[in-house]
Amino acid sequence: MKQAGKKKLVTKSVKFSVTQARRAELGLEVAALTTELAELLAERESFLTPSKADEKKIQAEITHRSQVVHQGYEYRDVELEPVPDFTAGLMNYTDPETGEVLDSRKLSIDERQTVIEG
C-alpha cells in the first residue's frame, strides 16, 4: 500500500547554466588553488615532500572549476521526482519544490503499462 503524500525522489545529474557572478567566484577559487598548488610544489623542491594525493586533488579541483568558468555551465546532482506523462510517453523529472521539469526521457515498455488499483 502506498503512503499518501510520500513522494519517491531520485538523484540525477542535471546541467545548470552558471551566472557571471558564479564564474567570477570560480575564477577566484582557481587562482587560490593555483597558488596552493605552487606552494606545495615549492615545498617539494625544498625537500619537504607534499603528498601526491594532495597535489592530484588540487589539480582536479582546478581543472573542474576552470571548465565551469570556460563552458558557463555545470552539472549538479539533485533530487528529482519522477512523474510519468503517459500522453507524451515521457518520464519527466521535476523539482519537488517548484514542479519545474529539469530532465525527461521516453517511458520504458514496462512503465507504459498502467496498473489499475482496485
Tell me: the pLDDT tens digits for 81-102?
999 999 999 999 999 989 999 9
* Residues 2 and 30 both lie in one domain: no
* Domain tally, the chain: 2
* Residues 23 and 9 both lie in one domain: no
* Residues 64 and 40 both lie in one domain: yes
Examine the pLDDT at 28 and tell me if it is beyond 70.
yes
* Residues 63 and 92 both lie in one domain: no
Cα 4 off chain centre by: 30
- pLDDT band at residue 104 using 50, 70 and 90 as cut-offs: very high
Would you give the DSSP letter of residue 19?
-
Nearest residue to 95 (alpha-carbon basis) of 19, 14, 28, 35 = 14
DSSP strand pairing (10-17 vs 101-106): unpaired
Burial class (CB in 10 A: 0-12, 13-18, 19+), 108: exposed
Q: Which domain holds residue 46?
A: 19-71
Considering the chain, what is the average pLDDT of its residues? 84
* Residues 28 and 67 both lie in one domain: yes
- Tell me if the pTM is above 0.75: no
